[in-house]
Amino acid sequence: MDIAAFIRFTFHSRYMPRWIYGGLIVYIPVLNFLSFGYLKKASRLLMLGSVGLPTWEDRKTIWSDGMKLLFIFILYGAVPFFLFSCGFFLTTLSTITAFFGHIMTKFSVVALLCFSFFIPFAFAVFAEKDDFREALDFERILQGIKEVFAPYLGGYICALIALGLCLLIIRIPYLIGLLLSSLCTYYVFLVAAYYFTQLYRRTSLAMERIPEEPVRETAPQSSNDTASV
């Protein structure tokens, strides 16, 4: 299933409430662990060859997985944050140090883009293997990215643009913007999780390569069909 088909699929009445629930809490600290954990569960389901969005059963595990994912994201952002903090500190000392501080803060933005470039596949690795060390193995992740570099780069740029637009929506007043931004941001995360999971399954990083015909979730039979059997 391509990404366009997946987008149509997510707006099915059966699955739409599942991602809306995660979107409503993605901006709420601690509760958003559930949102991130659900993305991992959805990615894991895709890796098994299934098509669909998982349920919210076993929320304790989902919350725990989300906390682990957030920790991985923090580790990837540690170097940019350190550079920004040092740069900001230098700007407060003197005119001379402020010059270098401004350079360092700008460099921290570049570092953030560089380190965040690894996050989609780091997420996919953790979703499949549930291993921190594997998710932080830059060399292997970079090798996997090289195998699908063009679509990976395109997806990364599109995701950044989409997330930037989601942040602009916050400007709509009366909390409407915050609510819409929350839902749109999480939906971008969901679509990105699907896209990069599919790319990941085409690389040597994946434990199992993508099958030619994924297992599809069958729709429940109607009562009329059941009665006719």
State the Cα–Cα distance between residues 18 and 23, nearest whole angstrom. 9
DSSP E strand boundaries for the chain: 50-51, 215-216
pLDDT score for 94: 82
pLDDT at 130 over 70: yes
pLDDT at 7 over 80: yes
Q: Which residue has the higher pLDDT, 97 or 207?
A: 97
**Conformation bin of residue 30: beta by default, left when phi > 0, alpha when psi is -120 to 50:** left
Q: What are phi and psi of 215, to 5 degrees?
A: -70, 125
Stated pTM of the model:
0.83
pLDDT at 49 over 60: yes
pLDDT at 175 over 90: no
pLDDT band at 210 (very low <50, low <70, confident <90, very high): low
The tally of CA atoms less than 13 A away on the side-chain side of residue 126 is 26
- Residue range 47-75: average pLDDT? 88
pLDDT band at 221 (very low <50, low <70, confident <90, very high): very low
Is residue 218 within 8 Å of residue 26, measured between CB atoms? no
Q: Which residue has the higher pLDDT, 212 or 163?
A: 163
- Residue range 10-22: average pLDDT? 91
pLDDT score for 12: 87
| Pick from 31-35, 94-98, 118-122: least confident | 94-98
